[in-house]
Amino acid sequence: MNILTRIVKDKRKEVELRSRLIPINQLEQSILFNRSTFSLVQNLSQSATGIIAEHKRRSPSKAVINHNLNVQDVAIGYEKAGVCGMSVLTDSKYFGGSLDDLLLARASCELPLLRKEFIISEYQIIESKAFGADAILLIAAILKKDEIKRFSELAKSLHLEIILEVHNTTELTNSLMPSLQMIGVNNRNLKTFEVDIAHSKKLSKAIPSEFVSISESGISSIEAIKELKPFGFKGFLVGENFMKTDNPGQSASNFIKNLIV
């Protein structure tokens, strides 16, 4: 069983348990459920840098990245740095995150927040809105086309923006639909966790212009971003490069300053 299959198997059990503990009608009563959302699409479209900075404590591929930082400081630092949005890992077992991280980030900044999660249920989408997310990630590798349609239409009705994450041309062409706004090309093979930004270059020509294109994983240098920009990418998800430092906000600030020189 590869890591992605194992994560999804565990996630189904986790969501089933949470949905019994906190029913949907209770989520819909959250003080954040009816808030106006911030647009990641708009920020990326208007930005010269396109940086989406991530909060991630650990991962299956890198084990511990940073357990010494609190999410409030990271969120404030990222906002001061001028990033376009913040990605918050909420998976606990494999990435050390939680929904509390999303809640604390929401209370600490006015950045568009992407809930980075393995979404396999409508429940998680409603949950995302209730905990302050502005955007969600849908991973084509773990979803059927009808699920992508159903989930993205529900998210759109809640004023949540959607990044569809793809790894190859088949996933991309089979999953494009009007309810999506952003296409994220993951340069990491989720089965082996190897990274190659050539994936983004390869898939760039197949992404229709009406979608905002984002390159994910392996974006650790200014050179990588400059290399990918001519291929039409507007967004760049940067995680470990900032989080492995003692001050992710300052690292993001320095990175952005050097990027726009």
Contacts with 127 (C-beta within 8 Å, 6 or more apart), sequence order:
18, 22, 27, 99
Contacts with 148 (C-beta within 8 Å, 6 or more apart), sequence order:
138, 140, 164, 175, 177, 180
Structure tokens at 188: 């990491």
**Upper half-sphere CA count for residue 127 (Cβ side, 13 Å):** 23
Q: What is the dihedral angle through the alpha carbons of 30, 34, 35, 40, rounded to the nearest 10 degrees?
A: 110
Q: What is the C-alpha separation between 259 and 253, in angstroms, rounded?
A: 10
Residue 230 burial (10 A CB sphere; 0-12, 13-18, 19+): exposed
Catalytic site positions: 54, 56, 116, 165, 186, 216-217
β-partners of residue 184 are 165, 214
